[in-house]
Chains A and B, each alone.
Chain A
């Protein structure tokens, strides 16, 4: 569960202050799948980083699971998938996934079992002994998702994890992600630039706009939990997508 109240974040830069977030209030309940969508520079990454205690808000309140983001980070409450895969090149794919497990002190046997399990989940079994630079960009990104899934964090923060992938792989991973979410009951915050992706995945879609970065619309999705890929042609789906597009356009007109 994540709760933000009137969150403000101003970066002091050489060209003066940048209002990355202004008066952002949002509640994400346990087990929700929330997507953030908005034009480049509207503060999506910054908001996610505030939840992860990688960035410190200059105003307002934010709690994660009822405690401060720092306390949540120290209790290893979340897994973070960065915009780029960011695998360590000196470790094999298996070694990269094992990294958080080693740091968090999982037993050797448990580590191996978990690595095998998440590799299967992202369909990379057989690549455990390969090095990241021997894999395609899409495979690297899947490995980085596996890395965030290997340990028991009930929150998953994902910053445009599929941004660099082609349409077909993306569809497939979207489906996989929904299955995973249904099975594990994780709370997921997911940044994307794609309206269909946001609508397909989410229970709640947060539309943001830039300068200053703020939330312009929050859309609760009426779609059922069970979502085959062809739900994207249903009238309900198109209706939600339309609202998101309107929200994005309204944010632009403010400028």
Chain B
């Protein structure tokens, strides 16, 4: 009963603190504190409810249990992280986004590609490509190469579509200006169309960063060596070791947020001039 009271108390305290903070003028401090208090409150309520209601750890382990498991299994978690995030997701992301970018420049240059490939691209971008994962695992084997291939397939078309759209985003007047300078194709590309496309390119890169992690983890459900986050999640569920599953989910969440945040940070530095990024 006391654990339920603890959960209730945590809820009341968190509510009260955030209500007071939100009423004050926004500063750097409160901007960080409000979501932080929110998160901590949520974890405290979770802890209290799981203990108070005596929920089976198979259904939902308490945060403290997940934390203990996390600390005890850092070597496994690290190995899985390297296998899935670094080898699978990141390499697939780099290859997929890089080749989509180059392809976008070709599509933009040659009209037959634009008219042929782009509708296909839009179509494929809307498909749940993750369904191809078993096929790709069959083609490229169990190790990270097949996971990278899944990621490539997943990120390619969203990145392509965004970049092509961005390359067409300069205004008629901006292009006329280049014409009056008798600027050639490359000068126009480098000095006008690529800079103008940057907000779109980063939009594609951000979408791709989330897709990459999903792709790399889910692809491991269809076969992998005995390491990797997806592998660990599916086997640990079988062994009812839900605390380890949750520890992997924590790693995935942190890695995903960090990855997205890094791309968003670079975006801010590159597209500082765009109205959506101007905070001054």
Give the nearest-CB partner of B274 in chain A.
Answer: A89
Flag A60-98 by CB within 8 Å of B: 1 or 0 each.
000000000000011110111010101011100000000
Contact across chains for A54 and B180 when beta carbons are under 8 A apart: yes
Report how many residues on chain A are interfacial, defined by Cβ distance under 8 Å. Answer: 23
In A93-111, which residues have CB < 8 Å from any B CB? Answer: 99-100, 102-104
Contact across chains for A99 and B191 when beta carbons are under 8 A apart: yes
Contact across chains for B273 and A89 when beta carbons are under 8 A apart: yes
Contact across chains for B176 and A54 when beta carbons are under 8 A apart: yes
Query: How far apart sit A188 and B86, CA to CA, in the bound complex (Å)?
Result: 61
Contact across chains for A84 and B173 when beta carbons are under 8 A apart: yes
Instruction: Report if A52 contacts B (CB, 8 A).
Output: yes
Contact across chains for B173 and A73 when beta carbons are under 8 A apart: no
Instruction: Report if A133 contacts B (CB, 8 A).
Output: yes
Given contacts A88-B192, A90-B195, A103-B187, contact A52 B180 (CB under 8 A): yes
Sample of 5 more A-B contacts, CB < 8 Å, known A52-B180, A75-B182, A133-B273: A76-B181, A88-B174, A88-B196, A90-B195, A103-B191
Give the nearest-CB partner of B191 in chain A.
Answer: A99
Give the nearest-CB partner of A74 in chain B.
Answer: B182
Query: How far apart sit A99 and B271, CA to CA, in the bound complex (Å)?
Result: 19
Minimal beta-carbon separation of B154 from chain A (angstroms): 30
Give chain A's interface secondary structure class.
loop
Instruction: Report if A181 contacts B (CB, 8 A).
Output: no
Instruction: Report if A237 contacts B (CB, 8 A).
Output: no
Instruction: Report if A131 contacts B (CB, 8 A).
Output: yes
Minimal beta-carbon separation of A82 from chain B (angstroms): 6
Chain A residues close to B by CB (< 8 Å): 52-54, 73-76, 78-80, 82, 84, 86, 88-90, 99-100, 102-104, 131, 133
Instruction: Report if B129 contacts A (CB, 8 A).
Output: no
Query: How far apart sit A236 and B146, CA to CA, in the bound complex (Å)?
Result: 84
Query: How far apart sit A102 and B178, CA to CA, in the bound complex (Å)?
Result: 12
Top 3 nearest A-B pairs by Cβ distance? Answer: A89-B273, A90-B273, A80-B180
Minimal beta-carbon separation of B272 from chain A (angstroms): 8
Contacts of A90 in B (CB 8 A): 195-196, 198, 271, 273
Query: How far apart sit A73 and B181, CA to CA, in the bound complex (Å)?
Result: 7
Give the nearest-CB partner of A55 in chain B.
Answer: B176
Chain B residues close to A by CB (< 8 Å): 171, 173-174, 176-183, 187, 191-192, 195-196, 198, 271, 273-275, 278
Give the nearest-CB partner of A53 in chain B.
Answer: B179
Minimal beta-carbon separation of B265 from chain A (angstroms): 18
Most A CB contacts (10 A, CB to CB) among B180, B183, B271 go to B180
Query: How far apart sit A114 and B274, CA to CA, in the bound complex (Å)?
Result: 28
Contacts of A86 in B (CB 8 A): 171, 173-174, 177
Query: How far apart sit A84 and B173, CA to CA, in the bound complex (Å)?
Result: 9
Give the nearest-CB partner of A151 in chain B.
Answer: B181
Q: What are 7 sample pairs from A and B whose C-beta atoms fall under 8 A apart?
A: A52-B180, A78-B180, A84-B173, A88-B174, A90-B273, A100-B181, A103-B178
Partner of B181, one of A54, A88, A103: A103
Give the nearest-CB partner of B178 in chain A.
Answer: A103
Partner of B180, one of A79, A84, A102: A79
Contacts of B179 in A (CB 8 A): 53-54, 73
Minimal beta-carbon separation of A217 from chain B (angstroms): 29
Contacts of A80 in B (CB 8 A): 176-177, 180
Contacts of A78 in B (CB 8 A): 180
